[in-house]
Amino acid sequence: MLRVLELKNKLGLFENPYKDADERAEQELLLCAEHRKAARKAAEETFVLLENQGMLPLSKKEKVAFIGPFTEEKAIIGAWSIFAEEKDAVSVREGVENYGGNVLFAKGCETLEPKSHLQGMNARYENTKTPEETEQMIKQAVKAASKAKKVVLCLGEHMAMTGEAASRGDIRLPKTQRKLLKSVARVNENVTVVLFTGRPLDIREVKRYAKAILVVWMPGTEGGNAIARVLYGKTSPSGKLPMSFPYCAGQVPVFYGEFRTGRYRQGADPENRFVSRYLDIPSDPLYPFGYGLSYSSFTCSKVTLSGNRLCRDGSLEASVILKNTGTVKAKEVVQMYLSDLAGSVVRRFRTEHLITVCVVAYIGIALFACVLRTQTQFWILAIFVGMFQGGIQALSRSYYAKIIPPEQSGEYFGLLDICGKGASFIGTAIVSVVSQLTGDINKGVAMIVVLFVVGVVLFRIAVTCVQKNKIES
């Protein structure tokens, strides 16, 4: 809040709240040609092509039927564009007519179910059509589809069905739209679906009947013009999914590109029941995060790094050579994903650092033991031993398991057991011998300090070797 007030003060808004209000400038700038061009370009670059079995791009020579409630729908601006006027938006029909082509149109059905309504941000949306009237609209759409070589079905959620306070238990397309899709697909198999939505949907039925799927979200004021340009190949789609489209609503979480919860399942025996997966559906999403096709094809070279080590608060530059190997001018988004195979994200400190801290703490405990005189001091010593003993045992064993070759784990843990048993009597023997020779138990205990110092030095050398081997590999 303070930053906002400071900015307002800097802009002089306390003295003149309407400083930049200019009705004449508003008339000149709002919806001007330059701004509309920018809106169209922004929309084009957000579209995501999910499927394309030779359907797109369309040709002006082929007869195409544009069908569906979103062919003429202007409520395509988005749920939070409160002050935008729907009348200023370009519909799909207007965009296609502006672009030209051999086309025909049929609405097919309304966006909402017959005799239903929806309360949006600042308006009430209602479908007054009866089921009988809707059935007649579907028949007209089927007739139009039978006369065309290809069909573009413009389907999706109404603007008020998505966004804040718009949760749905069933995230499939409305029932009437699904019926329209099936009816059209029966008479013309060359179906492209243009999908209007503000969230991931369950589109298994769409994928079953459509040979191409283009997600256009809520494309804004210039949506119709942008859609026409992409469908007819004036611009190649380059958008990628910012979230995963789930296989169904029951597939949770839907926001992961990969199923990573519970027991790790990569490479698991398919007959093994006790891994994280669903019994009745795939574990992978229908379309994962970052997915998106193009009208062209690309090759990407191997990643080159600016260095071979990433330090805390440091950075590495990764570079690739991307080539357009197709015949179409297009853009491509280069994506690079990084993750730990184990849960290092939740670790505030590295394991090797914590082990070092525990050993150093034990050096302090051993030094304190050298001056032990009273019962109270003994109990204090016991508390500190309890604080660090469990941690160092668990951390050391887990770190050891992490760095040893998996295929030789039996041999390595056997060696660890021998060393552990050996240390238990070697340490005791050294303390006893030194105490006996010097006649002072404290000097014997002091030898433990020497052993811990040697141990921490050897451990840090081992950590350095492990890190070097990781970088080289």
Are 355 and 213 within one domain?
Answer: no
Does residue 261 have a pLDDT over 80? no
Domain boundary among 231, 265, 285: 231
Instruction: Say if 239 falls within a structural domain.
Output: no
Torsion of CA 385, 388, 392, 395, to 10 degrees: 150
Q: Which of 193-197, 208-212, 246-250, 424-428 has the lowest mean pLDDT?
A: 424-428
pLDDT at 408 over 70: yes
Question: Given a cut of 70, is residue 311 above it in pLDDT?
Answer: yes
Whether 272 maps to a domain, the answer reads no
Which of 254, 108, 232 is closest to 176 using CA atoms? 108
Q: Determine, yes or no, domain membership for 175.
A: yes
Whether cis (ω within 30° of 0) applies to the bond prior to 242 is no
Instruction: Point out the domain boundary residue: 214, 231, 248.
Output: 231
Domain boundary among 190, 212, 231: 231
Dihedral Cα 93, 99, 102, 106, nearest 10 deg? 0
pLDDT in tens, 39-68: 999 999 999 999 999 999 999 999 999 999
Rounded mean pLDDT, 287-308: 94
Higher pLDDT, 103 or 17: 103
Answer whether residue 407 shows pLDDT above 80.
Answer: no
**Residue 174 is assigned to a structural domain of this protein:** yes
Domain contains 426: yes
Residue 470, pLDDT score: 63
Q: How many domains does the chain have?
A: 2
**DSSP H stretches of helix in 274-374:** 351-370
Cα 284 from Cα 248, distance rounded (Å): 11
Q: Are residues 93 and 223 in the same domain?
A: yes
pLDDT number for residue 347? 52
CATH number at residue 75: 3.40.50.1700
Q: What percent of the chain has a predicted confidence (pLDDT) above 90?
A: 45
Is residue 131 pLDDT above 90, yes or no? yes
The answer as to whether 364 is a domain residue is yes
Is residue 277 scored above 80 in pLDDT?
no
Classify residue 114: in a domain, yes or no: yes
pLDDT at 317 over 70: yes
User: Looking at the structure, do residues 220 and 355 belong to the same domain, yes or no?
Assistant: no
* Residue numbers of the domain that contains 375: 350-472
Average of per-residue pLDDT values in the chain: 86
Contact 50, 239 (CB under 8 A): no
- Whether 197 and 215 have beta carbons less than 8 Å apart is answered as yes
Q: What's the confidence (pLDDT) of residue 435?
A: 81
pLDDT tens-digit series, residues 150-194: 999 999 999 888 888 888 888 999 999 999 999 999 999 999 999
| pLDDT value of residue 33 | 93
Tell me if 134 is assigned to some domain: yes
